[in-house]
């Protein structure tokens, strides 16, 4: 049973790092997009910022869920 929770914990950690790194990369892309053509760059940067926000918030929520699970089972 403990091995199962370690596997789940590892999977959640890898998902958190994946979403966090994707969010940071998308934020950097949004900053780079803003430096060229006005209307097109606003549209693409807003889309990129929205996607980055989704990744960062989902990473935070998964981290919080992992924290709750580990505190509940006291690992």
| pLDDT, tens digit (0-9, with 9 covering 90-100), for 13-69 | 888 888 888 888 888 777 777 666 676 777 777 788 888 888 888 888 888 888 888
Name, in order, each residue with C-beta under 8 angstroms of 49's C-beta and a sequence gap of 6 or more.
26, 27, 30
Structure pTM? 0.54
In 3D space, the residue among 47, 5, 70 whose CA is nearest the CA of residue 55 turns out to be 47
* Structural domain count of the chain: 1
pLDDT of residue 23: 85
Which comes out higher in pLDDT, residue 33 or 11?
11
Domain that holds residue 9: 2-73
């Amino acid at each position: 049973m403990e091995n199962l929770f370690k596997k789940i914990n590892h999977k959640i950690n890898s998902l958190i790092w994946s979403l966090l790194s994707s969010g940071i990369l998308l934020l950097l892309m949004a900053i780079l997009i803003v430096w060229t053509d006005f209307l097109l760059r606003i549209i693409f940067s807003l889309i990129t910022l929205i996607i980055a926000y989704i990744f960062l918030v989902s990473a935070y929520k998964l981290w919080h869920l992992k924290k709750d699970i580990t505190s509940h089972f006291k690992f």
